[in-house]
Amino acid sequence: MARPVTVLCIYRIVPGKEQDFEQILHRHWSTLDRAGLVTPEPSKIFRGSGKDGKTSFIEILQWKDEKASDVAHHSPEVMAVWEPLGALATGMEFINIEPVV
């Protein structure tokens, strides 16, 4: 049986584009869900800033399996969200995470 993959996504935002990024990010999980790529657990979204004062958004989501993120790259609906997100970010980092007992 396929195991879900939990990912911590860190998005570093172009200064002044935070509101635009946030609006698109709020459509992210629902788009992935409609494509059947994530578990039923909605993503969790956080906003923060580092010592440099620059805004980052953090999203924790759960792919349905290890292949789902690759499949997403071939989905026009997902790419319609990912491309504008990428244009508003100065960098992105994706870290597969697991709980520590």
pTM: 0.92
The total of structural domains in the chain comes to 1
Model pLDDT for residues 62-99, shown as the tens digit of each residue: 999 999 999 999 999 999 999 999 999 999 999 999 99
- In whole angstroms, what is the distance from residue 88 CA to residue 24 CA? 10
* CATH code (residue 61): 3.30.70.100
Q: 20-71 pLDDT, tens per residue?
A: 999 999 999 999 999 999 999 999 999 999 899 999 999 999 999 999 999 9
Q: Which domain range does residue 85 map to?
A: 5-97
CB half-sphere exposure, 83, CA atoms < 13 A: 8
